[in-house]
Amino acid sequence: MQRAERLKSVASSNALELSGVSRVFGALVAVDNVTFSVTAGERRAILGSNGAGKTTLFNTITGDFPPSNGRIRFFGEDITELPPYERIRRGLRRTYQNSQLFRGLPVLDNLYLAVRGVGRRRMSLLRPGEDHPARIAARQLAHAIHLEEVADRPVSELSHGQQRQLEIGMALAGAPRFILFDEPAAGLSPAERRELVDILKALPSHIGFIIIEHDLAVALQVAETVTVMHQGRVFKHGLPADIETDPEVQKIYLGGRHG
Ligand SMILES: Nc1ncnc2c1ncn2[C@@H]1O[C@H](COP(=O)(O)OP(=O)(O)OP(=O)(O)O)[C@@H](O)[C@H]1O
Tell how far the Cα of 5 is from the centroid of ligand 1, in angstroms: 33
How would you write 100-138 as a 3-class SS string? CCCCCCEHHHHHHHHHHHHCCCCCCCCCCCCCCHHHHHH
Residue-wise pLDDT tens digits, 110-154: 999 999 888 766 656 667 777 788 899 999 999 999 999 999 999
C-beta separation of 255 from 47 below 8 A: no
- Taking the CA of residue 49 as reference, the ligand 1 atom at the shortest distance is 25
Pocket of ligand 1 (CB under 6 A): 25, 28, 30, 48, 50-56
Write the ipTM: 0.95
What's the pLDDT at 2? 56
For ligand 1, atom 24: residue with the closest CA? 50
Q: What is the pTM of this model?
A: 0.89
> Is residue 174 over pLDDT 60?
yes
Give 31 Cα–ligand 1 centroid separation in angstroms.
9
Q: What is the pLDDT of residues 2-44, one digit of tens each?
A: 555 544 554 458 999 999 999 999 999 999 999 999 999 999 9
pLDDT digits (tens, 9 = 90+) for 199-216: 999 999 999 999 999 888
In sequence order, the β-bridge partners of residue 230 are 233
Q: Which of 227, 222, 221 lies closest to 205 in space, CA to CA?
A: 222
Compute how many other C-beta atoms are within 10 angstroms of the C-beta atom of residue 150. Answer: 19
What is the pairing mode between strands 43-47 and 225-230? parallel
Q: How far apart are CA 241 and CA 225, in angstroms?
A: 9
39, 41, 40, 88: which is closest to 62 by C-alpha? Answer: 88
CATH 3.40.50.300 in the chain: give the residue spans. 1-91+177-259
pLDDT tops 50 at residue 258 = no
Q: Which residue lies with its CA nearest to atom 17 of ligand 1?
A: 55
pLDDT band at 156 (very low <50, low <70, confident <90, very high): very high
CATH of 1-91+177-259, one of 3.10.20.30, 3.40.190.10, 3.40.50.300, 3.40.710.10: 3.40.50.300
Query: How far away, in angstroms, is 116 Cα from ligand 1 center?
Result: 31
